[in-house]
Structure 1
């Protein structure tokens, strides 16, 4: 008899625990639908795989709300790592951004720049991968830029 009561108690606890997990999941899903502020100043470091390439340096991301477009401008504001300023497409709902190929707005030669896996994490961290056409091997290196918001 004690074994049956013990078994029923475990089953009841298991049911309550699974219901609680389901409620928490739906709450986090509704939180993810809030727009994330992508504009800001960031202090980032550039990596190639696990090796530090350069940093820290400042990058800015700008949005023009009056333009009502789905892009941001990303710029190496100190021109210490690479002289780049490009536009990237944005998904404000999940804080991601990318470009298949953009032209560097700082270059008279129309140098291509690719950004992939761009993401704002917890509103205060940034991560993106970037490749440059004017690298030693065009688009041959993928640099990971990681950092945090400074304003």
Structure 2
């Protein structure tokens, strides 16, 4: 008799665990207030050598754009994690237009200023690995850029896919 109750109890507990896992499949993904500007972006940094002609300096690197601690739809962090220049700046965004940028932004990586202009995210604009991905473009310049002073770097790419 004791064995019968033990088996029934085990059966009920097992069914309880199985049904609790099914609820996870129905949940929606929760995005921050800065999505779709925020994300992990695979980008190329280049300079313009002649009108309309660009020379890549660093290709297939990463830039992170993420919400601030306040999680408001008016500002983001742009962070290259030292992949190109070692900059991390907080910049204003317009979430409705998917634009971003600012002048003389304080670089949190070290004492300098960064200017980000013409920042724009384009939804489903480029095909990567047979999947339509969001695209990004912005210009960036650095106060401590010595040669040549005032160089404007063009940054363009797509939302990272997780593949090489």
Aligned pairs for 1:2-151 (under 5 A) are 37-49=36-48, 50-64=54-68, 66-68=70-72, 70-77=74-81, 79-107=82-110, 110-122=111-123, 124-137=134-147, 140-150=150-160
TM-score by length of 1: 0.69
Structure 2 distance, partners of 1:97, 1:122, is 15
Structure 2 distance, partners of 1:122, 1:67, is 21
8 Å CA contact 2:73–2:95 kept in 1: the answer is no
Q: Which runs of 5+ in 2 are unaligned?
A: 1-33, 49-53, 125-133
Structure 1 distance, partners of 2:40, 2:155, is 13
TM-score by length of 2: 0.64
Structure 1 distance, partners of 2:105, 2:160, is 26
C-alpha distance after superposition, 1:6-27 (max 9, x if no partner): xxxxxxxxxxxxxxxxxxxxxx
What is the deviation of 1:38? 1.0
Q: Which runs of 5+ in 1 are unaligned?
A: 1-34
- Secondary structure of the 1:135 match is coil
Q: Which has the higher contact order (CA 8 A, sep 6+)?
A: 1
